[in-house]
Structure 1
């Protein structure tokens, strides 16, 4: 499948309702200190309503600010809400490098930092999700919880989401990186995964040097009859592709769950 967002999808519009973006801290037992995450609440957010949650992850060189610095997610989402194309959701932008000094500085490929991306699974499940569910009016059911990310975060989303289908029904990987586990490890039981998944999204640019990771996963899913969306886009390992992914992926989330 080829997908292209319409012109102006990521451009600021006047005179529409806007969501809110805030930076918050939560206590991470997995890391041993407070950590920061950005959170987008949609236009008209109210404690009188229960919201779905998308955990949206960054790449190896990013942090909780990367999506906002480069991807304009709040503008994309605000525009989609204005057009009536999204189900109500909170979007959480964590720092996927779960270590005491989690800044993207120095050698970002240092083994300790790579290990910190693996440790994030514990931080997310044990610390961040409970924090969100305690402080925001959100669904605590798997049907109301999604995880997605770009590059390193795409690999994390597949590794974490498919290993915890009791926690996530909606999973997206945008240009997943080599941290992505082999398909046989990701989905050892294809029939069970097919029954539990509401959406499995896999996408990559046609000029991306890491495209073989996505193609390997797509081939396994197709061979074993696991329903999924495979989107091949024009572009490389870069933001035009990932913004386009967010535009299309977000519209498919949480449909038919009420």
Structure 2
């Protein structure tokens, strides 16, 4: 039995492995039937309640969106006998499906995030896996990366859960050799599938991992809510998202952005869910002037409220860390080492709080 020790990201993991051990990235296009339209309505092909969504539900034409996918070395689409876990990595407010790749930088013309996972796999620290880098704006103007609290592109961040459930995850599991099969809706199937999916995000994506997966508030512009912004950013809460704990057993939030719900709300949502969350990994830099307050607010009372419905909780502070990829790469490194494991077979603490 191996005990996973949360550590700093080794410098050597920023460098590439030998060519035959390198994974590869492909950009793909998929159809989206669940998104915010130009009138701020939720377009959906599903049976979604208007009260749950917090806005008018309409039908509409499908969008075609793009995402990037990392496939590990040796992935063969024709070898259906070999299956893979899937990790979804979400970007920040000004980013897109390329932020974890291009904004993170390269070492000798190879993306750093790919080097990290190549090294983890090559060294046997994690099993080979598929990584999906989506664009987290479920809106008709999903390519707009500007920060505008009144924009539908911003509103789309708070409705990405419907796209995940009804569009992106089904596409991935239909077209790639994954362990999980969202079409298996039996109780045992759902229990198994969620152990084969993980999700984490940086900054705005960290907020999405908390609010949309655990079950926090959606937000909209105060121009439309008619209320005041608690965060002084032109956004205020509307309705609680139902959460996606039935889809994910491992959640990571790296420097989660303002509009993250508070720990009491998130913990209460977990406690009301039919499934136990195996892993919640939270991290932030000690000198992060953007996310430090929202990070502290989102973890306050969370584990107390969640109780037995949260199995393993990690709270990792990066000493002198700021709002950058030094923190987020460390989060991806440690989170991936902890996810997809049978914690019951390892002597691990329920709560780990550590400064790196």
TM-score when normalising by structure 2: 0.67
Q: Does 1:206 align with 2:210?
A: no
Q: Does 1:243 align with 2:276?
A: no
**Mean Cα deviation higher: 24-33 or 51-60:** 24-33
Contact 1:3/1:233 (<8 A) preserved: no
Greater RCO (Cα-Cα under 8 Å, separation 6 or more): 1
Q: Give me the whole-angstrom Cα distance separating, in 1, the residues matched to 2:299 and 2:332.
A: 19
Alpha-carbon displacement from aligned partner over 1:122-170 (angstroms, at most 9, x marks no partner):
1111100010011011123111011110000001011222112111100
Q: Which residue of 1 aligns with 2:63?
A: 33
Q: Does 1:116 align with 2:169?
A: no
Larger gyration radius, structure 1 or structure 2: 2
Q: Give me the whole-angstrom Cα distance separating, in 2, the residues matched to 1:223 and 1:35.
A: 39
Q: Give me the whole-angstrom Cα distance separating, in 2, the residues matched to 1:37 and 1:14.
A: 26
Q: 1:128 aligns with which of 155, 165, 168?
A: 168
Q: Which residue of 1 aligns with 2:207?
A: 155
Q: Which residue of 2 aligns with 1:53?
A: 86
**Mean Cα deviation higher: 14-23 or 153-162:** 14-23
Shift of 1:107: 3.9
Q: Which residue of 2 aligns with 1:167?
A: 247
Q: Which residue of 2 aligns with 1:145?
A: 197
Q: Give me the whole-angstrom Cα distance separating, in 2, the residues matched to 1:211 and 1:106.
A: 23
C-alpha spacing 1:189/1:202, structure 2 compared with 1 (3 Å): same
Contact 1:87/1:253 (<8 A) preserved: no
Shift of 1:106: 4.1
C-alpha spacing 1:53/1:30, structure 2 compared with 1 (3 Å): same
Please report the RMSD computed on the Cα atoms of aligned residues, expressed in angstroms.
Answer: 2.3
Shift of 1:39: 0.5
**Mean Cα deviation higher: 187-196 or 135-144:** 187-196
Aligned residues, how many? Answer: 258
Q: 2:299 aligns with which of 218, 222, 237?
A: 218
C-alpha spacing 1:232/1:107, structure 2 compared with 1 (3 Å): closer
- Written as runs of structure 1 = structure 2, the 5 A alignment for 1:184-199 is 184-189=264-269, 191=271, 196-199=276-279
